[in-house]
Amino acid sequence: MSPNKANYEDVDAVGGGLHFLRDELDCTNLGVSVLECEPGWTGKPHDHADDQQEEVYVLVEGEATVTVDGEDVHMSAGDALRIVPEERRQIENGSEESTFVLAGAP
């Protein structure tokens, strides 16, 4: 089997800035997405307790705060954050655009 390649900008965004790459890359055990956040954007609070998906958020550019089970974690470009499935999480973007790479797997 040959490698799969996709450019996230070629994938239609959901909710304005979330590009799901799992299908484009033909992943079966890993989800990968790129999230482009406008200044002041706030994501939906959620967890993955039902599907047991562990996630890693990598902030590629910008600054943001991720609230994990009530604890604010400030992130700067280059930071990575691991979140276990049961923890409730929500991204709050800062005053400039930011870009995350999100990876998750059961």
For residue range 85-99, list pLDDT tens digits in order.
Answer: 999 999 999 999 999
Residue 94 carries which side chain, given as an amino acid letter? G
Side chain identity at residue 3, one-letter code: P
Each domain of the chain, given as residue ranges in start order, spans 14-94
CATH code of the region 14-94: 2.60.120.10
Phi, then psi, of 99 in degrees rounded to 5: -135, 125
- N residues, the chain: 106
**2, pLDDT greater than 80:** no
Average model confidence (pLDDT) for the chain? 95
